[in-house]
Amino acid sequence: MTSATLEIHLTDEDLTAALREDARRGLTATPKSLPPKWFYDARGSELFEQITELPEYYPTRTEWALLERVVGEIARTAQAEVLVELGAGSAAKTRLLLSALNAEGPLKTYVPQDVSTTALRAAADQVASEFPGLAVHGVVSDFTDTLDNLPRGGRRMIAFLGGTIGNLIPRERAEFLAGIHDVLEPGEQLLIGAGLVIDPAVLVPAYDDAAGVTAQFNRNVLRVLNNRLNADFDPEKFAHIALWDAEREWIEMRLEATEAMTVTVRDLDLTVEFAAGEQMRTEISAKFRRAGFEKELDTAGFATEQVWTDPDQRFALFLAERRY
């Protein structure tokens, strides 16, 4: 059996430094905001797994069913020798892709990327045991700014699933897609999953479930600040807000202070005032229209080869090729 190797470009100290910078910038801004990547400590990851199983949360199961249906077409079209997965996590959905690409013949290497060394090592070892003969080379990094650390060589396809592209504002998306373009060689491919614009009556409950799991997940970012930066947030004094911004076509998650309070972030020597009713943005989840996203890909230098959608037109998989 081929064992998995791990290449580490991001340490716990690097993550703490990035959190310090994001927290200082976001908590002193008007309006306040925090990036969604800080939801995901061990507890945040557990809560998100629970969210994916909620009846209201359609994106994960919709993408999974779509991938199951079209994975053979993806594999035949891509003919990838190397599969690179950004934000691999447990690599659960990837097994569908790996099996299909393996059946097509040319697949030689799987490169999962994630920020968590622990999660990545576990996923990489599991894949290596399930696919004997497949080289597994994990990369611990932040996909938003370390794309250049991804290994080169072989015909590659980069997969970015889960609709995570929607967490980036338009400027960040343009930079990210341009970065992927620069990493790939002409003729190599990008497979990207994106949520589509649908009825807000279905969309909003996916981010504001009846059981309150998403509310716990949203508040978890405050617990991360408490644990990693020695802050004294009382998460229960913040209400979970999820709303649809029809103009920007994205879901926005916020935390609303239920009373006036003063919060101290000791490691930053920072005191933060919250007015009663003040809201802090913690995530956006943009939804897309097919033509609009194809245009974004085109602007970044990709030619869209194929688009697959589920029967309810809630989610899409785009397979695009670097054009030049």
Angle at CA of residue 86, ends 85 and 91, nearest 5°: 55
Q: Stretch 55-63: mean pLDDT, rounded? A: 97
Domains of the chain: 30-55+201-286 (no CATH), 56-199+288-322 (3.40.50.150)
Contact 110, 150 (CB under 8 A): no
Residue 120's φ and ψ, nearest 5 degrees, are -70, -40
Sign of CA dihedral 154, 155, 161, 166: positive
Binding-site residue positions? 57, 87, 93, 114, 142-143, 167, 207, 283-285
Contact (Cβ atoms closer than 8 angstroms) between residue 299 and residue 175: no
Residue type, 53: E
Dist. CA 151–CA 113, nearest whole Å: 11
Tell whether pTM > 0.85.
Answer: yes
> What average pLDDT does this structure show over 191-218?
98
Closest to 317 measured CA to CA, from 201, 165, 145, 106: 165
From the annotation, which residues make up the binding site for L-histidine? 57, 167, 207, 283-285
Q: What are 295-307's pLDDT values in tens digits?
A: 999 999 999 999 9
Task: Give the Å distances, CA to CA, from 184 to 37, 76, 178, 187, 290.
Answer: 25, 19, 10, 8, 23
Segment 163-169 mean pLDDT: 96
The DSSP symbol for 196 reads: B
More confident residue, 1 or 21: 21
Residue 142 pLDDT grade (very low, low, confident, very high; cuts 50, 70, 90): confident
Q: Per mean pLDDT, which of 22-36, 40-54, 89-103 is the most reliable?
A: 22-36
The C-alpha atoms of residue 274 and residue 231 are separated, in whole angstroms, by 14
CA distance 240 to 253: 7
Mean pLDDT of 218-235: 98
Q: Is 304 left (phi over 0), alpha (psi -120 to 50) or beta?
A: beta
Q: Which residues of 277-315 are buried (b: 16+ CB within 10 A; e: fewer)?
A: ebbbbbbbbbbbebeebbebbeebbbebeeebbbeeebb
Q: Which residues are annotated as a binding site for S-adenosyl-L-methionine?
A: 87, 93, 114, 142-143
Band of residue 97 on the pLDDT scale cut at 50, 70, 90: very high
Quick one: which of 290, 200, 310 has its CA closest to 249? 200
Distances (CA, A) of 142 to 138, 157, 224, 316: 13, 18, 18, 24
- Token digits of residue 207: 């981010």
